[in-house]
């Protein structure tokens, strides 16, 4: 069981690495290397042909596949399995159906070969599903324990506080997005890019902690979700 536990931790560390690296990479390639304006969203970087078209599909595709394999092999209960599976579906949709962008000239795009307008709707539904499932995954599944609170280690209690705090920050980020729909920040401010960056950088430490990279109990020797 030790080997399975360590494999699960490695899986979560990879997910943390992707979540941390994707936003700055998207910005660096588009704005620094090629001198284009600051992207309005991470997804927009996938619409700039021959520059960063590969970045979002590869990174988010990898993240969605990690979510799928986690759901199949490493989830420890039905809720954990369901939420990680929804993350896979959501981020897979984001990967294969591009958002609306001034860089798109084709009449039919994406896996489903739909118009850019329809593709944008599908893309947004996938993003909401993926990030929404991620919030509940962190707040509900990461904090679970088979032990009563009185028997949990101090590090477990600390980790749970961190998971819940990070989850609340993600919820606040989504609320800011909805506020922006009414034009609160103006058209020139890249709200979606900033929110995506923040949410992924919130998810990264959550996965890193759950994967045992930091704040790990010293006596972890078995497959036991309680420990992290």
In the structure, what pLDDT confidence band is assigned to residue 175 with cuts at 50, 70 and 90?
A: confident
- Residue of higher predicted confidence among 174 and 172: 172
Q: Is 224 within the bounds of a domain?
A: no
Is residue 228 included in any domain, yes or no? Answer: no
Q: Is the pLDDT of residue 21 over 60?
A: yes
CATH of residue 20's domain is 1.20.1070
106 within a domain of the structure (yes/no):
yes
- pLDDT the model gives residue 189: 78
Please list, residue by residue across 26-65, b when 16 or more beta carbons sit within 10 angstroms of its beta carbon and e when fewer do.
bbebbeeeeeeeebbbbbbbbbbeebbeebbeebbbbbbe
**162's tokens:** 């961190």
pLDDT of residue 223: 45
Q: Is residue 9 in a domain?
A: yes
pLDDT higher than 60, residue 227: no
Q: What are the backbone angles phi and psi of residue 155, rounded to the nearest 5°?
A: -70, -35
- Cβ proximity of 205 and 166 under 8 Å: yes
Structure tokens at 70: 């986690």
Does residue 165 form part of some domain?
yes
End-to-end CA gap in the chain: 15
Tell me, yes or no, whether 172 lies in a domain: yes
d(CA 112, CA 32): 32
27 versus 184: the higher-pLDDT residue is 27
pTM, rounded to two decimals: 0.89
User: Could you tell me the residue range of the domain that residue 62 belongs to?
Assistant: 2-219
> Does residue 76 belong to any structural domain of this protein?
yes
| Structural domain count of the chain | 1
Confirm whether 225 is domain-assigned.
Answer: no
Burial class (CB in 10 A: 0-12, 13-18, 19+), 138: buried
HSE, CB side, 13 Å, CA atoms: give it for residue 193: 20
Q: Please state at what angle helix 154-180 crosses helix 116-136, rounded to 10 degrees.
A: 150
pLDDT of residue 183: 60
Which strand (E) or helix (H) includes residue 195?
helix 191-210
pLDDT in tens, 43-98: 898 888 777 777 888 888 899 999 999 999 988 899 999 999 999 999 999 999 99
Is the separation of the CB atoms in 189 and 169 below 8 Å? no
Q: CA triplet 172, 177, 182: central angle to 5 degrees?
A: 125
Per-residue pLDDT tens over the stretch 179-203 = 776 666 666 778 889 999 999 999 9
The per-residue pLDDT of the chain, averaged, comes to: 87
Cα angle for residues 8, 10, 11 (degrees, 5° grid): 65
């Amino acid at each position: 069981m030790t080997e399975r536990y360590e494999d699960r931790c490695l899986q979560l560390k990879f997910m943390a690495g992707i979540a941390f690296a994707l936003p700055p990479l998207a910005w660096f390639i588009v704005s620094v290397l090629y001198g284009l304006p600051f992207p309005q969203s991470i997804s927009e970087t996938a619409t700039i042909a021959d520059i960063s078209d590969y970045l979002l599909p590869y990174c988010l595709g990898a993240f969605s596949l990690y979510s799928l394999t986690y759901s199949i092999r490493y989830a420890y209960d039905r809720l954990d399995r369901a939420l990680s599976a929804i993350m896979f579906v959501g981020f897979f949709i984001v990967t294969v159906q591009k958002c609306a962008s001034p860089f798109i000239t084709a009449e039919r795009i994406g896996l489903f070969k739909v118009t850019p307008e329809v593709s944008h709707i599908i893309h947004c539904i996938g993003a909401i599903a993926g990030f929404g499932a991620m919030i509940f995954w962190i707040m509900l599944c990461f904090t679970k324990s088979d032990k009563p609170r009185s028997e949990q280690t101090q590090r477990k209690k600390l980790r749970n506080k961190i998971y819940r705090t990070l989850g609340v920050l993600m919820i606040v980020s989504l609320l800011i997005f909805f506020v922006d729909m009414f034009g609160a920040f103006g058209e020139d401010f890249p709200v979606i890019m900033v929110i995506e960056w923040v949410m992924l950088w919130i998810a990264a430490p959550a996965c890193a902690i759950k994967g045992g990279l930091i704040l790990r109990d010293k006596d972890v020797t078995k497959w036991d979700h309680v420990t992290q």
